[in-house]
Amino acid sequence: MYYLGVDGGGTKTAFTLLDHAHNVVASHESGTCYYVEVGLDGAQSVLESGVKALLEQVNGSVDDITFAFFGLPAYGEDSKLIDEINALPSHFMRSDKYHCDNDMVNGWAAAFNGADGINIVSGTGSIAYGVSKNQNARCGGWGELFSDEGSAYWIGCKGLQVFTKMSDGRLAKGPLYFLLKTTFHIESDLDITGLVLCDWNGDRSKVASISTLVCKAASEGDKYAIAILDDAANELAEIVEGVRKVLPFAEDEDEEVKVSYSGGVFNAGALVLFPFINALKRFSSNYKLYEPLHSPVVGAALYAKRLANLKNIK
């Protein structure tokens, strides 16, 4: 018997099976299940095919799953669709054998094994979720059009803005300018508008992928790319602080506020983590940053076991 964890994101969806001893026995990855981008039918198809691929690795069936947790992007952000989203896995498994929620829960469960603390996600989008004394709160995650500050998409947009300013003389040309030109084979600088708006049709994941070039340019000393990552770190710290202010953490110096992180932006390492730590300290000396104990998809499976225990499902 297994616990199924699903970590949906704006770019990819990860699946894992844990046995009752918390060993990973199967893993799978597919495209995004972000319903805003792929539609509800598309999201359901990604989830169903992913679970099927996972079970094939252990020659199992859905009946072998004790309980499942589906952490889904944008869950809870449109109350009119909540019933339909909750029903997505019911196309291939019993509704009493799973629970759906926002993918932010995965990162928190993975970071602290379900203990009190705050996890900040900065992947394609950004959001923070925390728990303290059985109370929970979220901050950020309002979508890429007017929020998701500090996310890969946000960084990608800032990188494109810098490219345009470098191109037309408002900023001096640096590594980011040349990285974008060579990576996307841009001969005439104005062609970048055709690439992003026409060829990509503003695709969220593709714009977010530019964040890796911003990080590379920063590592090569591009001061404008470094400034983008500094600004991203400040935005992410502000989102964390938004959670802390809502939750019942003590204001005195004695209570440590644990913070962890997940999402591809943090793959930049010190370029993001150092300014993030400094930004947190400006808000409170109580913050202490921890590496996550597990990946978010393993966190989803661990949370599935926790829910099964609460429901007394064996």
Helices and strands (DSSP H and E) totals, the chain: 10, 10
How does pLDDT run across 12-53, given as a tens digit for each residue?
A: 999 999 999 999 999 999 999 999 999 999 999 999 999 999
Q: What is the CATH number of the domain that holds 269?
A: 3.30.420.40
58 and 78 assigned to the same domain: yes
192 and 286 assigned to the same domain: yes
270 and 282 assigned to the same domain: yes
158 and 281 assigned to the same domain: yes
User: What 3-state class would DSSP assign to 289?
Assistant: strand
| Residue 72 φ/ψ region, left for φ over 0, alpha for ψ in the -120 to 50 degree band, beta for the rest | beta
86 and 200 assigned to the same domain: no
268 and 132 assigned to the same domain: yes
Please state, in angstroms and rounded to a whole number, the distance separating the CA atoms of residues 144 and 158: 13
pLDDT surpasses 90 at 252: no
98 and 82 assigned to the same domain: yes
128 and 90 assigned to the same domain: no
The domain in which residue 186 lies consists of 116-292
166 and 191 assigned to the same domain: yes
108 and 123 assigned to the same domain: no
Q: Is pTM beyond 0.85 here?
A: yes
Let me know if 68 is exposed, middle or buried by CB neighbors in 10 A (0-12, 13-18, 19+).
buried
How does pLDDT run across 95-136, given as a tens digit for each residue?
A: 999 999 999 999 999 999 999 999 999 999 999 999 999 999
pLDDT (average), residues 192-201: 97
Neighbours of 20 (CB within 10 A): 11
pLDDT surpasses 80 at 314: no
157 and 243 assigned to the same domain: yes
Q: Which residue in 224, 222, 210 sits closest to 162, CA to CA? A: 224
Q: How many domains does one find in the chain?
A: 2
Note whether 255 and 249 are within 8 A (CB): yes
